[in-house]
Amino acid sequence: MTEKIRPLLAGNWKMNGTRDSLTEIKAIAEAITPAQALKVEALLCPPATLLYVTTALCQDSPLAVGAQDCHQHRSGAHTGDISAEMIADCFGTYVIVGHSERRRDHAETSELVRAKAEAAHAADLTAIICVGETLAERQQGQTIAVLQKQIEASVPQGSTAQNTVIAYEPVWAIGTGMVPQPSEIAEAHSFLRSDLVTRLGRTGKSMRLLYGGSANPSNAAALVGIENVNGLLVGGASLKAVDFIAMYGACLKQPA
């Protein structure tokens, strides 16, 4: 069912990073060659305060730059929010929507996530839509049901492999050091692939499915070797250039 897919290694810096961190970003940008980027795409999503300077720093690098969230509206009286158009205006090309920390900390619903993804598409950004179950939901055997519900409500109709990436991030594995068994990741990604094909047709076969949740240099190779895992969405381990570059190397070594 799967097709040849160009993997993606995405770093989500979350609420980390100041101007002092630009040396790490510069090191990552300089380490990735155009030839490598043809095989594996690399992306950093720094905090909004560093977005514009990061895109400027990476203008001669194949390293893509994105944001961590966007508002569902183009503009208006929404103090503190950032629109998808503003991200594009800073030369960002991606935006993460529906991360579990946004769903938890800001009570974001899947319907709101869908609206944000639609806003991203309208601004010609690629939306990375995050889905995943809590520990209680997994223990109750609800993982697949949760993923199905979140995909149905979060992914806009008309989404394509060019403007949408799905990131499976089991909530209980994010930042905890806990990682699901390979068979559990494979089961979740197999379901997501099948469900996306059912919903979106042929584009569902080539849409990238990332795994996220305590991914790091020591387990990156094993994670990207799992069927239907087309890359990683990495949190804390993406803050240091040496770690990000090591994980990128693990992705490059996977069979084409």
CA distance 142 to 87: 35
Helix intervals (H) in the chain = 22-31, 34-39, 51-57, 84-89, 100-105, 110-122, 135-139, 143-154, 182-200, 203-206, 220-224, 241-252
Question: What's the predicted TM-score (pTM) here?
Answer: 0.96
CB 50 within 8 A of CB 99: no
Q: What is the pLDDT of residue 198?
A: 96
CA distance 135 to 130: 16
DSSP assignment of 234-252 equals ESGGGSSHHHHHHHHHHHH
Q: What is the pLDDT of residue 58?
A: 96
Segment 30-38 long-range contacts (CB within 8 Å, at least 24 positions apart): 30/61, 31/241, 31/245, 31/248, 32/61, 32/62, 32/63, 32/248, 33/62, 34/62, 36/62, 36/248, 36/252, 37/62, 37/63, 38/6
Using alpha carbons, select from 139, 119, 200 the residue that is nearest to residue 166.
200
Our measurement of the distance from residue 139's CA atom to the centroid of its chain's CA atoms, rounded to an integer in Å, reads: 25
Using alpha carbons, select from 6, 4, 5, 2 the residue that is nearest to residue 41.
6
Q: What is the pLDDT of residue 1?
A: 40
DSSP assignment of 153-192 equals HHSPTT--TTTEEEEE--GGGTTTS----HHHHHHHHHHH
Site of tokens 């809590």: 134
71 in catalytic set: no
CB 241 within 8 A of CB 31: yes
99 in catalytic set: yes
Identified catalytic residue from 24, 133, 169, 189: 169
Q: What is the pLDDT of residue 3?
A: 66
Q: What is the pLDDT of residue 179?
A: 81
CB 125 within 8 A of CB 66: yes
Identified catalytic residue from 71, 99, 121, 189: 99
Residues of the chain with pLDDT under 70: 1-3, 256
Q: What is the pLDDT of residue 45?
A: 98
Our measurement of the distance from residue 23's CA atom to the centroid of its chain's CA atoms, rounded to an integer in Å, reads: 23
What single-letter DSSP state applies at residue 125? P
CB 146 within 8 A of CB 152: no
Pick the CATH number of 8-252 from 3.40.50.1000, 3.20.20.70, 3.40.190.10, 3.40.50.80: 3.20.20.70
What single-letter DSSP state applies at residue 127? E
Enter the tokens of residue 104: 């938890």
